[in-house]
Amino acid sequence: MHHFNYKNGTLFAEGIDLDQLSKKVGTPFYCYSEATLRRHVQVFQRAFGGANMLTAFSVKANSNIAVLKILASEGAGADVVSGGELKRARAAGIASDKIVFSGVGKTAQELTLALQENIHQFNVESEPELNLLNEIAISLGTKAPIAFRVNPDVSAGGHEKIATGVAEVKFGIPWARAREFYAKANAMAGIEVKGVDVHIGSQISDLAPFETAFKKVAVLVTQLREDGCTIDRIDLGGGLGIPYGDSPVNPPHPDEYAKMIRQIADPLNVQLIFEPGRMIVGNAGILVSKVVYVKEGAERQFLIIDSAMNDLIRPALYDAYHNLIPVKEPTTNERQDYDIVGPICETGDRFARDRDMPVLKQDDLVAFMSAGAYGAVQASEYNTRPLIPEVLVNGDQYCIIRPRPDYEDILKRDIIPDWIK
Ligand code: LLP
């Protein structure tokens, strides 16, 4: 459920009229609903009742510090994948003991920073990473709390670019070697073994692959305990999908997900860590854009809008579906098939093909739904298009939580060497 609804013929974000807001902020822009963000994290946490759990929001999905602060105030921690995300999480006031650090390529500098911050857990993904972490921890006179991210070799469907739990990808340690790696880590002076971590992919719309992977994790926990490791937490990653508007995918409710997990995990008596990203922020954000031209092509009608693949890359990169709706509710039933494209000079700059839409005209406003996750964070300045603003709405107030840079801000970052006249 989200708080983007038509009122008297105009799309609102909570109590804010998006037509009016567009006039003040200019298009395109991202708009987030605070009530929706709060609701999603509450629904997720409530699904687990009184379980000993940590919701470590996956910062990669939306890293705006205002968003992180809202989630922190609901008790969430953070799953970070870089030194920069760690800094953001701390800047948002997220306590160190609620931060987990994932990723296959953590550098010495990032590991040092995270050790100095005393984070809750390193999700270690390889033997060389373990060795480096151990060395750095010893040099700092501390011990690094770790879980290995194990690769359960479970296929979770979804787009191949975001499947992470099959054996052929770069993620996690090979399942067959897990006990060997844990034994090694358990004997290291700079390492404290704490848990097991797994993350199998993103936008997963079916409980079965989760269940298969989590059951494997439960077996491994028992074996590791027999081997003499203290395992008091399991990190089950993120990946629960969301409904993307009209798309046929209907992911399970967090209540069903929680029920399945508790059946597997309760007997283990561990802290449950989750790294949800998309399901918290995805449907809490939209991208508002304006029709620049309606172009009659040789074979198709093009709706050329002022946002592009540099602002929202998901359709171009993953063939992702985003529902697009007009900000002014249509007053007729007239419809038209459009190719919805941006101004960037590549054919791939296309949001949708042959999309059946209400008839639109120049200067009409439209909104991409479900754009709160992996939207603004994956934006770039390709074609020297300024990063678009992010606006947060709370009831009838709004705040621009990241402003649009002007051209000067962009140009002044380039440095001309003095040998070029
Ligand atoms: N934990 C780890 C270790 C991850 O790699 C990810 C996402 C998550 C948690 C959060 O997954 P979520 O709950 O959001 O599904 N840019 C792509 C998605 C990439 C996901 C990468 N990893 C997209 O726009 O669909």
Ligand 1: atom nearest CA of 61 is 14
Q: Kindly give the interhelix angle for 254-265 and 34-47, rounded to the nearest 10 degrees.
A: 30
Residue corresponding to tokens 């070799």: 153
Residue 276 beta carbon below 6 angstroms from any ligand 1 atom: yes
Nearest CA to ligand 1 atom 16: 374
- Every domain of the chain and the residues it spans: 4-31+282-411, 34-281
What's the 141 CA to ligand 1 centre distance in angstroms?
Answer: 33
Residue 162 beta carbon below 6 angstroms from any ligand 1 atom: yes
Task: Report which of 239, 172, 182 is spatially closest to residue 210, judged by C-alpha positions.
Answer: 239
- Digit-coded pLDDT (tens) for 309-362: 999 999 999 999 999 999 999 999 999 999 999 999 999 999 999 999 999 999
Res. 399: pLDDT tops 80: yes
Give the mutation target among 71, 82, 122, 275 for probing the ligand 1 site: most ligand atoms within 8 A of CB: 275
- Digit-coded pLDDT (tens) for 201-257: 999 999 999 999 999 999 999 999 999 999 999 999 999 999 987 666 689 999 999
The CATH architecture assigned to 4-31+282-411 reads: Beta Barrel (2.40)
- Give the N- to C-terminal CA distance of the chain in Å, as an integer: 58
CA separation for the pair 46, 141 (Å, rounded): 39
pTM: 0.97
Residue 219: its H or E element = helix 207-226
**Region at 9 (left for phi over 0; alpha for psi -120 to 50; beta for the rest):** left
Res. 164: pLDDT tops 90: no
Ligand 1: atom nearest CA of 123 is 3
Residue 374 beta carbon below 6 angstroms from any ligand 1 atom: yes
345 is catalytic: yes
CATH code assigned to 34-281: 3.20.20.10
Give the mutation target among 278, 280, 311 for probing the ligand 1 site: most ligand atoms within 8 A of CB: 278
Contacts of 417 by beta carbon, 8 Å cutoff, 6+ apart:
none
Task: Report which of 341, 369, 357 is spatially closest to residue 245, judged by C-alpha positions.
Answer: 369
> Which runs of consecutive H residues, i.e. helices, occur in 92-126?
108-116
According to DSSP, the β-strands at 77-80 and 53-58 are parallel
